[in-house]
Chain A
Amino acid sequence: MTNTPPARGAELLETRGLTKVFGSLTACDHVDIAIRKGEIHALLGENGAGKSTLVKMLFGSLEPNEGEIVWKGERVRISRPGIAKKLGIGMVFQHFSLFEALTAAENIALSLDDGAPLSTISAKARDLSKAYGLPLDPEAMVGDLSVGERQRIEIIRCLLQQPDLIILDEPTSVLTPQEADKLFVTLERLRDEGKSILYISHRLEEVKRLCDGATVMRHGKVVGRCDPRKETAASLARMMVGADVKLAESTPISLEGAQELLGVCGLSRKPAGPFSMALKDIWLSVRAGEVLGIAGVAGNGQGEFFEALSGEVLQESADAVRIRGKSVGRMDISARRKLGAAFVPEERLGHGAAPRMRLSENLLLSRHATDWFAFLRFGRIGVVREGAVQSAAQRVIQMMDVRKSAPDPEAAALSGGNLQKFIIGRELDRQPTVMIVNQPTWGVDAGAAARIRQALIELARAGSAVLVISQDLDELFEISDAIAVMHNGELSKPLPRAEATYERIGLLMGGAEPGHVETREIA
């Protein structure tokens, strides 16, 4: 690891003192980064480290306040994405920008300026997909495609412009391990052809495996450059976080004879819209003391499943969901909460919390039904006891170490990690018997994530049932006692932690016969 700026000369792209300021926040502070020709270069950093801002400046979506970009030895000003494309910089975004009601080829055509006929584009796309091992049917409707396939469209769309530099933003966050392997082969082939790739990630193992060089950012600054192959995952993590990262400690326990607290029996749900997933005959049981993890690639029905469990959407049959032995399929979210269940949805702002409301008001949001005796007076008139709500909010803030700038700030003023700590703490504070969490640490920095995971394990060990839906396999392996996989709206049988491996879970995530794991030969 060195801190000297890279030597000049053979670089394809170089930035010098690139700075971007948003109000009082310096998102990028004099960033120097250099990418050689024919290199896969990793850009590492936690959420909020300034990676996205840097990349947006390279792609012309943001203009720097200061500093310069040097492309093939010449200073350039990239004021909009069109210019970046002309120069030969292509980008594959983390959140795809595809129209679901159009075909793959039509989506590609939309982003090309030359007005080529659709058939030509289809043919070109098909050629590229063969050449780079990215199987794709250009005539397929995007809405019908898996996330991995959609990513291929984005990559092919990018390749069609024949870029010299391809920027990939967290490309594997939506892929199964096997799909990720295929992507790496493609990327290596591109590198061998002399193209450069800027690979943004916080997954250290894959960076170690794939990348030739890495630049690490923290708090908007470059804090290190290294050859990732010479580092360990732990040393990379230390560079990223600035401190050692603790893993959550989970001691295996015996669930022999433990009582079922959450049961799902043959839950099915029709798709709510043309692009949402149907749930198909889901069975599940979570016992007291257990953390059950649900893995799966994004968009395979996890959101729909969460809504069904929480009671935001009711079931047709009361027996489809049982909480503490009581059939709650026809009960709304407040009634389920009163039975001791707590819910943490995936989206923090706008679902788990109202962005423009204060933390204390957001505490009331999910607790008014269960804690009315503490938070309300005069029965049906329901006058809010400000003081009681305030002190409960402060209790949660202290318990979870929520960092904030004002005594009781608006939810939107908190960073993602701190808000998530508050939202989880808000539920933990009432000692729920059943806790259902969707993506507990998505976009949360490592320190906060470790704290949240530890809290979930402790809740389970204290006798509650915890269900964690996550796309982060590492997380599930860290905290779960058993892992089930959701694919295409179906749920596999849970594999006990001892039997679960990345390979087996990965195969299930890719759609290998849910429900029949135990009889399957695992390659």
Chain B
Amino acid sequence: MRLELVKRPERSKLFSALSPLIAFGLTIIAGAILFSLLGINPLTALGTYFIEPITQVWQLHELAIKAAPLILIAVGLAVCYRSNVWNIGAEGQFIMGAVAGSVLPVLFPETIGWWVLPLMLVMGMAGGAAYAAIPAFLKARFNTNEILTSLMLVYVAQLVLDWLVRGAWRDPQGYNFPQTVQFNPSAVLPELFPMSGRANAGFLFAVIAAVLVWFMISKTLKGFEVRVLGQSPRAGRFAGFRINRMIYFAFLLSGALAGLAGISEVAGAIGQLQPTISPGYGFTAIIVAFLGRLNPLGIVAAGLVLALTYLGGEAVQSALGVSDKVARVFQGLLLFFVLGCDTLINYRIRLVGSASAAPDVPAVVTTAPTVEAAR
């Protein structure tokens, strides 16, 4: 017996739209099974995980804080994935944006002025973009696989940050803790509604970025270029668009947004550099991008959902004594079900009897043209 995926002649519009909701529902069910296997009442656990963290106003602020970097990064990734550029290294670009943006408050902590914060944000974006330019250059020039290069550069970025906060940038008055000085007030992002919670301008950036990129993708020629080159590169070349230019555009844009997320995180929620500044936002944002169907507006909603999985993980850890790594499990389940649903929307499963499963040389040979065509 063998399973085969057969392409459907048409995608169902209804199920394409419902797919994220179905995936979320399946994640809940799988989560319930998981909790009951752990010997915890699944209803209590799911309530603690998904509902309790958003019952009070200050908790919504926390949700916004977690969602902001996810949305910012995912919006950039959506442009990448739509244009068939596979940037997996947003985590590294996030870190490098944070590092570049922190140059000013760490090395010149006395600097005060209204212009400090905007300059930090710009440097953060430049840092993220510059770091993303490395895999872009390698792909455009040498045709390297950007999935590998961008991913490997994440670990480089993590170690650079680690080295900085333990070495050159360590706070001299910090009792040898591996962290930089606390940023001075003019280097800290303002809170949106300080009366009710600590959500900061980062969430505002995320929403603005989502709206701008949505407009770019759906209304402008540049967005058209992104979509054409992503869907059929040859037609894109026929249209006069250049693939190499698109590789740079996608990487630089997503790198800048990830960098902005990075500097917003350290200038906002954290207030200094430390060895770990991200609970894997750059990777979780990949899930956000796909859950939001690579649509920037959908990504805002998806970002809030994934932010909730982080808060839920903390909640079940404190309330039920389950490891907060369960957040990773939920994120993984969600991505699995989203991709699974998408696959089943495009393909149907066919069971092939064992008789035909035997190697059939002629059949293999006749598939050769498809392999050719696929290249």
Q: Which residues of chain A have C-beta atoms less than 8 A from B361's C-beta?
A: 110-113
Are B365 and A384 in contact (CB-based, < 8 A)? Answer: no
Partner of B234, one of A81, A82, A98, A351: A351
Q: With A82-B360, A350-B232, A357-B227 given, is the CB distance from A343 to B238 under 8 Å?
A: yes
Q: Interface 1/0s, chain B 352-375, versus A by CB < 8 A?
A: 000110001111011111000000
Q: Which residues of chain B have C-beta atoms less than 8 A from A112's C-beta?
A: 361
Q: With A82-B360, A382-B222, A384-B224 given, is the CB distance from A97 to B232 under 8 Å?
A: no
Are B360 and A355 in contact (CB-based, < 8 A)? Answer: no
Does B73 interact with chain A (Cβ within 8 Å)? no
Q: Which residues of chain A have C-beta atoms less than 8 A from B367's C-beta?
A: 97
Interface size class, chain A: 35 or more
Q: With A22-B9, A368-B224 given, is the CB distance from A111 to B235 under 8 Å?
A: no
Q: With A81-B366, A97-B369, A111-B365 given, is the CB distance from A365 to B235 under 8 Å?
A: yes
Q: Interface 1/0s, chain B 179-220, versus A by CB < 8 A?
A: 000000000000000000000000000000000000000011
Chain A residues 312-363 with CB under 8 Å of chain B are 312, 332-334, 337, 343, 345, 347, 349-357, 361
Partner of A333, one of B224, B238, B355: B238
Does B12 interact with chain A (Cβ within 8 Å)? no
Are A82 and B228 in contact (CB-based, < 8 A)? Answer: no
Does A58 interact with chain B (Cβ within 8 Å)? no
Chain A nearest CB from B215 CB (Å) reads 8
Does B39 interact with chain A (Cβ within 8 Å)? no
Q: With A79-B356, A80-B356, A354-B231 given, is the CB distance from A111 to B362 under 8 Å?
A: yes
Does B320 interact with chain A (Cβ within 8 Å)? no
Are B231 and A337 in contact (CB-based, < 8 A)? Answer: no
Q: Which residues of chain A have C-beta atoms less than 8 A from B366's C-beta?
A: 61, 81, 93, 97
Partner of B240, one of A80, A332, A349, A383: A332
Complex: A310 Cα to B231 Cα, angstroms: 21
Instruction: Identify the interface centre among A96, A97, A332: most chain B CB within 10 Å of its CB.
Output: A97
Chain B nearest CB from A417 CB (Å) reads 19
Are A361 and B224 in contact (CB-based, < 8 A)? Answer: yes
Are A355 and B356 in contact (CB-based, < 8 A)? Answer: no
Does B168 interact with chain A (Cβ within 8 Å)? no
Does A8 interact with chain B (Cβ within 8 Å)? no
Chain B nearest CB from A409 CB (Å) reads 11
Are B232 and A355 in contact (CB-based, < 8 A)? Answer: yes
Q: Which residues of chain B have C-beta atoms less than 8 A from A99's C-beta?
A: 368
Q: Which residues of chain A have C-beta atoms less than 8 A from B221's C-beta?
A: 364, 368, 376, 382-384
Complex: A433 Cα to B231 Cα, angstroms: 30
Complex: A103 Cα to B10 Cα, angstroms: 40
**Which chain B residue has the least Cβ–Cβ distance from A365?**
B239
Are A345 and B365 in contact (CB-based, < 8 A)? Answer: no
Chain B nearest CB from A123 CB (Å) reads 21
Complex: A393 Cα to B227 Cα, angstroms: 19
Complex: A208 Cα to B291 Cα, angstroms: 59
Does B325 interact with chain A (Cβ within 8 Å)? no
Q: Which residues of chain B have C-beta atoms less than 8 A from A368's C-beta?
A: 221, 224, 239-240
Chain B residues 93-131 with CB under 8 Å of chain A are none
Complex: A357 Cα to B236 Cα, angstroms: 12
Q: Which residues of chain A have C-beta atoms less than 8 A from B220's C-beta?
A: 381-384
Instruction: Identify the interface centre among B220, B235, B367: most chain A CB within 10 Å of its CB.
Output: B235
Chain B nearest CB from A348 CB (Å) reads 10
Q: Which residues of chain A have C-beta atoms less than 8 A from B227's C-beta?
A: 354, 357
Partner of A312, one of B237, B360, B365: B237
Does A51 interact with chain B (Cβ within 8 Å)? no
**Which chain B residue has the least Cβ–Cβ distance from A335?**
B240
Complex: A110 Cα to B238 Cα, angstroms: 37
Does A95 interact with chain B (Cβ within 8 Å)? yes
Complex: A368 Cα to B240 Cα, angstroms: 9
Chain A nearest CB from B346 CB (Å) reads 11
**Which chain B residue has the least Cβ–Cβ distance from A361?**
B224
Are B240 and A333 in contact (CB-based, < 8 A)? Answer: yes
Complex: A312 Cα to B355 Cα, angstroms: 48
Are B235 and A97 in contact (CB-based, < 8 A)? Answer: no
Are A365 and B231 in contact (CB-based, < 8 A)? Answer: no
Are A81 and B360 in contact (CB-based, < 8 A)? Answer: yes
Complex: A26 Cα to B6 Cα, angstroms: 19
Does A85 interact with chain B (Cβ within 8 Å)? yes
Complex: A85 Cα to B232 Cα, angstroms: 37
Complex: A351 Cα to B257 Cα, angstroms: 32
Complex: A112 Cα to B236 Cα, angstroms: 41
Q: Which residues of chain A have C-beta atoms less than 8 A from B235's C-beta?
A: 350-354, 365
Does A9 interact with chain B (Cβ within 8 Å)? no
**Which chain A residue has the least Cβ–Cβ distance from B353?**
A79
Q: Which residues of chain A have C-beta atoms less than 8 A from B356's C-beta?
A: 79-80
Instruction: Identify the interface centre among B228, B231, B240, B367: most chain A CB within 10 Å of its CB.
Output: B240
Q: With A354-B232, A384-B221 given, is the CB distance from A366 to B239 under 8 Å?
A: yes
Instruction: Identify the interface centre among B236, B356, B362: most chain A CB within 10 Å of its CB.
Output: B362
Q: Which residues of chain B have C-beta atoms less than 8 A from A369's C-beta?
A: 240
Does A257 interact with chain B (Cβ within 8 Å)? no
Does A274 interact with chain B (Cβ within 8 Å)? no
Does A23 interact with chain B (Cβ within 8 Å)? yes
Q: Interface 1/0s, chain A 77-115, versus B by CB < 8 A?
A: 001111001000000010111110000000000111100
Q: Which residues of chain B have C-beta atoms less than 8 A from A332's C-beta?
A: 240
Are A354 and B368 in contact (CB-based, < 8 A)? Answer: no
Complex: A81 Cα to B236 Cα, angstroms: 38
**Which chain B residue has the least Cβ–Cβ distance from A375?**
B221
Complex: A498 Cα to B224 Cα, angstroms: 47
Q: Which residues of chain B have C-beta atoms less than 8 A from A22's C-beta?
A: 9
Are B360 and A80 in contact (CB-based, < 8 A)? Answer: yes
Q: Which residues of chain B have C-beta atoms less than 8 A from A334's C-beta?
A: 240
Are A81 and B363 in contact (CB-based, < 8 A)? Answer: yes
Q: Which residues of chain B have C-beta atoms less than 8 A from A80's C-beta?
A: 356, 360, 363
Complex: A347 Cα to B237 Cα, angstroms: 13
**Which chain B residue has the least Cβ–Cβ distance from A157?**
B365
5 closest A-B pairs by CB:
A334-B240, A382-B221, A354-B235, A97-B368, A365-B239
A-B contact pairs, 29 of them (CB 8 A): A61-B366, A79-B356, A80-B360, A81-B362, A82-B360, A97-B365, A97-B368, A98-B368, A111-B362, A111-B365, A312-B237, A312-B238, A333-B237, A350-B234, A351-B235, A352-B238, A354-B231, A354-B235, A355-B231, A355-B232, A364-B224, A365-B228, A365-B235, A381-B220, A383-B220, A383-B221, A384-B219, A384-B220, A384-B221
